Amino acid sequence: MVHLTVDIGGRPGIDCRGFCSYCYFKHVKDVEPFGCKNCLPFVRGCDYCSRGVREQYSGFKVLREVADDVLAQLQFLQGDLDRITISGGGDPSCYPQFRDLVDLLGSMEVPLHIGYTSGKGFDDPDLGDFLIEKGLTEVSYTIFSSDPRLRAKYMHDPTPEASLAILERLCEEIDVYAASVIIPGVNDGENIFRTCEWLESRGAKGLILMRFANSTEQGLILGNAPIIPGQCVQSVEAFRDLVTELNDTFSLKISGTPLWDPSIGSPFAILDEPELLAKLPRVEKRASVVSGSVAAPFIQRVLDACGNRAPVIGVAKEIACLITIDDLKALHPGALERTVIIPGRAFVHDEEARNVLSADGTDREVVRGPDTLTADAETSMGMERNGVLLMEMEGFGELIRTINRYGR
Ligand code: SF4
């Protein structure tokens, strides 16, 4: 498959008609670079973990620059182009020359995708027809709620009826994956049932629900918690139950992040596949595997099924990829093995992690594990169960090989 990604640039919140009330980029502070797997060994901070993670880009690129990028990429592509995806830090629907951009890309006669849009920059209901005519075949579109008043209030969408009319038109013709951050007391309860009914009756392919996060432990690592002061947040379990109930009630596929995709049984669908667990390598050494609090119990069960005898360490942070040095500082080094495996994408500088985890005087080796062990709901939305199981086999195979290579 040959894909072309068209980056239109832009800044979250700023290049999307102002912040949605729940936007995770709201109140982002100028935090020190975290460190990550891309940093040089003796320097904490690289472009990715100091700038990219905050999506601190300048404004939208002008159309000319976008077109030049496309031309440059086309020269290096080999084979026939299968798909073009429009993406950016800002919201494509707010791109000032959006129609011209789509016109230009549509002339290449290749299926067009919009990676993500809130739709709040769309003001003209006829835009749906235009997009279909120009070859749009898939879009991920934030609905938040089918109630335009809630879109206006929480997304600051000045023309919510138009945005919903376009979404409706797209649902009729192309693959639409809707998305919604669930804010308890706002768009959950009866409201989310009405939203699902709306999407089902219009023909949406799927809906991804995102649990609202409001604290550092829940993933707000940019010094910006709380996003909505005083707003209550669902427990991971209550959120998972809501996802299950909705998916059982409606015909479109409904999944949630951080948990879960009921139609596939992921993340960690492999736990229901004893034959696949038996095919993973056996754990032969001891190492402390560190992960987020949501994934840790699942990882423990998979590794134990492969002969592991060491505890998997869950930190306070719920999501493994958002672990920072503060999470490692909160661990008791004395409880750790001589080898510690941290998530591949943790926002930690390797050298600093080694120092923190050796603070009790025992020198520990810190090694990065795989970037992913499973598919989150955004990844699994367009996947078959076998594809997710393959990802998990590869991820756990790599993790176990890392334990056996570096463990004691
Ligand atoms: S559209 Fe997305 S990036 Fe922009 S303010 Fe809303 S949540 Fe943030």
Q: What is the CATH number of the domain that holds 316?
A: 3.40.50
What is the domain count for the chain?
2
CA-to-CA distance for 177 and 173, rounded, in angstroms?
Answer: 13
67 DSSP 8-state letter = H
The kind and range of the H/E element at 299 are: helix 296-305
Q: At what angle do helices 296-305 and 385-406 cross, to 10 degrees?
A: 70
Residue 55 lies in a domain: yes
pLDDT of residue 57: 65
Question: Which atom of ligand 1 approaches the CA of 13 most closely?
Answer: 5
131 and 84, same structural domain? yes
Nearest to 260 by CA among 250, 278, 247, 251: 247
Q: Are both 245 and 279 inside the same structural domain?
A: no
Q: Is residue 262 situated within a structural domain? A: no
Pocket test for ligand 1, best of 15, 19, 87, 181 (most atoms within 8 A of CB): 19
CA of 140 to the centre of ligand 1 (A): 13
Q: Is residue 264 part of a domain?
A: no
Does 195 lie in the same domain as 274?
no
**Is ligand 1 within 6 A of the CB of residue 23?**
yes
Nearest to 400 by CA among 237, 282, 223: 282
The helix/strand/coil state of 128 is helix
192 with 179: CB under 8 angstroms? no
For ligand 1, atom 3, name the residue with the nearest CA: 12
Range of the domain at 148: 3-257
- 216 belongs to a structural domain: yes
Q: What is the distance between the alpha carbons of residues 116 and 64, in angstroms, rounded to a whole number? A: 22
Instruction: Verify whether ligand 1 is closer than 6 Å to residue 20 (CB atom).
Output: yes
Residue 222 shares a structural domain with residue 279: no
Going by CA atoms, what residue is nearest to atom 1 of ligand 1? 118
- Stated length of the chain: 408
CB of residue 181 inside a 6 A radius of ligand 1: no
Q: Which of 15, 23, 157, 210 maximizes ligand 1 atoms within 8 Å of its Cβ, making it the mutation to test the pocket? A: 23
Whether residues 248 and 384 share a domain: the answer is no
The best mutation among 117, 118, 142 to test binding of ligand 1, ranked by most ligand atoms within 8 Å of the C-beta, falls on 118
Radius of gyration of the chain (CA): 22
b/e map 210-221, b = 16+ CB within 10 Å:
bbbbbebbbbbb
**SS3 of the chain: helix, strand, coil, percent, to 5:** 40, 15, 45
- Shared domain for 251 and 180, answered yes or no, is yes
Residue whose CA is closest, atom 7 of ligand 1? 23
Residue in 178, 176, 182 with CA at minimum distance from that of residue 154 = 182
Closest CA to 82 of 158, 3, 152, 9: 3
Give the pTM: 0.91
Considering the domain boundaries, does residue 119 fall inside one?
yes
DSSP 8-state assignment for residue 347? B
Query: Does any domain span residue 302?
Result: yes
Residue pair 327/302 in contact (Cβ under 8 Å)? The answer is: no
pLDDT, residue 375, reads: 94
The CA 142 to ligand 1 mean position distance, Å, reads 9
Residue nearest to atom 4 of ligand 1 (CA): 13
pLDDT of 50: 80
CA dist 33 and 40 (Å) reads: 13
- 118 in contact with ligand 1, CB cutoff 6 A: yes
**Residue at 263 is within a domain:** no
Nearest to 347 by CA among 375, 376, 315, 379: 315
For residue 156 and ligand 1, the question of a CB distance below 6 A is answered with no
Q: Which ligand 1 atom is nearest residue 26's CA?
A: 8
285 alpha carbon – ligand 1 mean position (Å)? 45
Distance of CA 114 to the CA centre of its chain: 16
State which of 257, 289, 317 marks the end of a domain: 257
Q: Could you give phi then psi for residue 135, rounded to 5 degrees?
A: 100, 15
Instruction: Quote the DSSP letter at residue 308.
Output: -
Please report whether residue 349 resides in a domain. yes
The secondary structure of residue 152, as a DSSP letter, is I
Cβ of 13 below 6 Å from ligand 1: yes
Distance CA 28, CA 356 (A): 26
**3 state DSSP class of 219:** coil
Predicted pLDDT of residue 52: 65
Neighbours of 109 (CB within 10 A): 10
In whole angstroms, give the CA distance from residue 331 to residue 335.
8
Domain boundary pick from 215, 233, 257:
257
The encoded tokens of residue 178 equal: 């809707």
Asked whether 19 lines ligand 1 (CB < 6 A), one says yes
Query: pLDDT tens across 107-153, in order?
Result: 999 999 999 999 999 999 999 999 999 999 999 999 999 999 999 99
Q: Considering 227, 257, 287, which residue would you say is the last residue of a domain?
A: 257
Q: What is the CATH number of the domain that holds 30?
A: 3.20.20.70
**Cα separation of 103 and 131, whole Å?**
9
Examine the domain organization and report whether 304 and 237 are in the same domain: no
**Coil, strand, or helix at residue 306?**
coil
In this predicted structure, what is the pLDDT of residue 134? 97
Which atom of ligand 1 approaches the CA of 12 most closely? Answer: 3
Ligand 1 lined by 12 (C-beta under 6 Å): yes
- Amino acid in the structure at residue 400: I
CA atoms of 180 and 187, how far apart (whole Å): 9
Residue at token pair 């290096």? 76
Residues 208 and 146 placed together within one structural domain of the fold: yes
Q: Is there an atom of ligand 1 within 6 Å of 4 CB? A: no
311 and 195 share one domain: no
- Structure confidence at residue 381 (pLDDT): 86
- How far is the centre of ligand 1, averaged over its atoms, from the C-alpha of 126 (Å)? 23
pLDDT, averaged per 10 consecutive residues of the chain (408 residues), comes to 92 89 88 90 87 72 95 90 93 96 95 95 97 97 98 96 98 97 97 98 97 95 93 95 97 94 96 98 98 97 97 97 97 96 97 97 97 92 93 98 98
Residue type, 314: G
Could you tell me if 280 and 201 lie in one domain? Answer: no
Position 32 scores a pLDDT of: 86
197 and 88 together in one domain: yes
Instruction: State whether 60 and 141 are in the same domain.
Output: yes
Instruction: Give the span between the Cα atoms of 281 and 405, in whole angstroms.
Output: 12
Query: In sequence order, what DSSP letters do the residues of 165-218 get, joined into one string?
Result: HHHHHHHHHSEEEEEEEE-TTTTSHHHHHHHHHHHHHHT-SEEEEEE---STTT
Q: Which atom of ligand 1 is nearest to the CA of 120?
A: 1
